Amino acid sequence: MTLNSETTPSTEKQWDLARKLHQELIDMGMSDVTIDENAYVMATLPSNVDHDVPVIGFISHFDSTPDFTGKDIKPQIMHTIMMVVTYHLKVTATGLEHHDYFESLNQYKGQTIITTDGTTLLAADDKAGITEIMTAMKVMIDNPSIKHGTIKIGFTPDEEIGRGAHKFDVKKFGADWAYTMDGSQIGELEYENFNAAGAVVTFHGKIVHPGDAKGKMINSMYIAQEFIESLPRMETPEHTEDYQGFFHLHNMKGAVEKTELQYIIRDHDRGHFEARKEVMNKLVADLNAQYDREAVTIEIKDQYFNMREKVEPVMHIVDLAEQAMRELGIEPLIKPIRGGTDGSQLSYMGLPCPNIFAGGHNFHGPYEYVPVESMMKATEVIVKIAELVAMDANG
């Protein structure tokens, strides 16, 4: 998966799962099953009630992060956890001890855990969400006594590179609102996410033979170092939480003549978000003034915005999900997303789309895991929401 790809999906291998999902939806008896030229998969579960019910949707993505390998995944299943001693857990395949990654396991004692072998992703982000949606549809098809209105489901490519909703046909989907099944631990319910932008900062130097460099060579990597050190060190992902925004340097490549830094900029508050972009622009201007030439150039592109603005006017859709969880004995954990989902972009495209837990932990790395029981609960939440919507519409 690559940001530089001009195709959707960005990798050919995403078609493999898209086509399998398309066929499975047909085989299970879903209606209006389609897969378009960009691998977006959609299907419909027709209403089984005789009164008008809002059309709702459930959405997950089938790509996985490009940040760590997802090739040749070998899932490990631990059927029973009697006791978790987090300070002694070791990922044997990597030889690294990271007890902080497994602190959350304490809440899943006695449950069945699916994890990796320590060398790849598990890809529960967001294969868990897909599994839960597919299972919920099968449950409702096999049990017509469960009353529901029309339900739309959608599976998307390229969510992990911020392009999952770019070619999503909201009109074709035809839902009044939807939920992405793309959250983490059991109970998560989110309708706020970061405002997000990406920045590419390029530093221009001058190269000559190092033996004859005095007064002539300008090393672009040193100018880049000045830029990095001028940003607030504590406003990075590893030092922030909750509503705190950050600057994240996630890629760099450099040589004497040219160095490129790639940043992501994140903040829940729109004003703070705009201020962060201005900080970077001002640093560039200051460096250019210092070097008395265009030593640095910057390109900043907005990626998505906080969906709270679009969801708050229809907060009943969040209330329904919260009610569904409570009726199933799940304590809702309403919190901001420290990232983005397809739902953030879809909300601005006219499809309000809060996010519900899929159950996984430690996404985007070799310590990823998901409790089976959490996935089962997520499936139950989908079914319960469908029931509540039908019941509410009937008065």
| Contact between 355 and 211 (Cβ < 8 Å) | no
DSSP type of residue 178: E
Residue 159 known to be catalytic: yes
- The order of strands in the sheet holding 195-204 is 246-254, 258-267, 195-204, 296-304
> CA-to-CA distance for 95 and 102, rounded, in angstroms?
15
The amino acid at 205: G
What is the Cα 319 distance to its own chain's centre? 22
Q: CB neighbours (10 Å) of residue 216?
A: 10
Measured between alpha carbons, how far is residue 348 from residues 143, 310, 344 in Å? 35, 7, 7
Nearest 5°: phi and psi at 121? Answer: -65, 160
Helix/strand/coil percent split, the chain, to 5: 35, 25, 40
Catalytic residue among 63, 158, 190, 342: 63
**CA end-to-end distance (rounded Å), the chain:** 47
Q: Which of 159, 182, 368, 380 is catalytic?
A: 159
Answer whether 187's CB lies under 8 Å from 331's CB.
yes
Other CB atoms closer than 10 Å to residue 301's CB: what's the count? 10
- What CA–CA distance (Å, rounded) separates 381 from 60? 15
Whether 235 is catalytic is no
- DSSP class per residue in 207-259: ---GGG-TTT-B-HHHHHHHHHHHS-TTSSGGG--TT--EEEEEEEEE-SSEE
Longest dimension (CA), the chain: 85
- Burial group, residue 179, by CB count within 10 angstroms (0-12, 13-18, 19+): buried
Helix or strand (DSSP H, E) at 264:
strand 258-267
Residues pairing with 188 in the sheet: 333
Active site residues: 63, 159
